[in-house]
Amino acid sequence: GGARAAAGCDCAFAGAYPRSYVVRRTRAPPPLTGDYTDAFWAGVAASEEFVDITGDPALAPRFATRFKMVYDDDYLYVLGIMEEPEVWAHLTEDNTVIFNDNDFEVFVDPSGTTHNYKEIEVGLQPQP
């Protein structure tokens, strides 16, 4: 978890530090089929189930969402495991705030500081 990563941190929010996930290196790229039951992905640890960003138990997701990740010299591979049966999206313009639609977001924070991280947002609508 994230609290361990904040050990020794003098920040006031150390107890609320975000969860963390260690991405392992792979010697061979995974099959890009989207099949999370593939033998390759069976050997990769899954994240904890997602929670609402506010932490409010009343806003707990109805369906589980997790991910698995590996990397090689060229790419970061992310497998999203989403049980939501009814996905939808309406936004089609470039650079819109897509978290208002169904989307999948990955935050990469190699330094573990919650600053200067990179964010990847994937929406359901194709972009021009």
Are 11 and 66 contained in the same domain?
A: yes
Determine the Cα–Cα distance for residues 128 and 117; give it in Å rounded to an integer: 26
Residues 105, 80 within the same domain:
no
Average pLDDT, the chain: 82
| Counted domains in the chain | 2
Q: Are 22 and 5 in contact (CB under 8 A)?
A: no
Same domain, 40 and 102: no
Each residue of 15-49: pLDDT tens digit? 566 778 899 999 999 999 988 899 999 999 999 99
User: Could you identify the residue written with the tokens 């920040």?
Assistant: 11
pLDDT digits (tens, 9 = 90+) for 51-66: 887 778 888 888 999 9
| 13 and 25 inside one domain | yes
Domain span at 9: 1-84
pLDDT confidence bin for 12, thresholds 50/70/90: low
Is the pLDDT at 3 greater than 50? The verdict is no
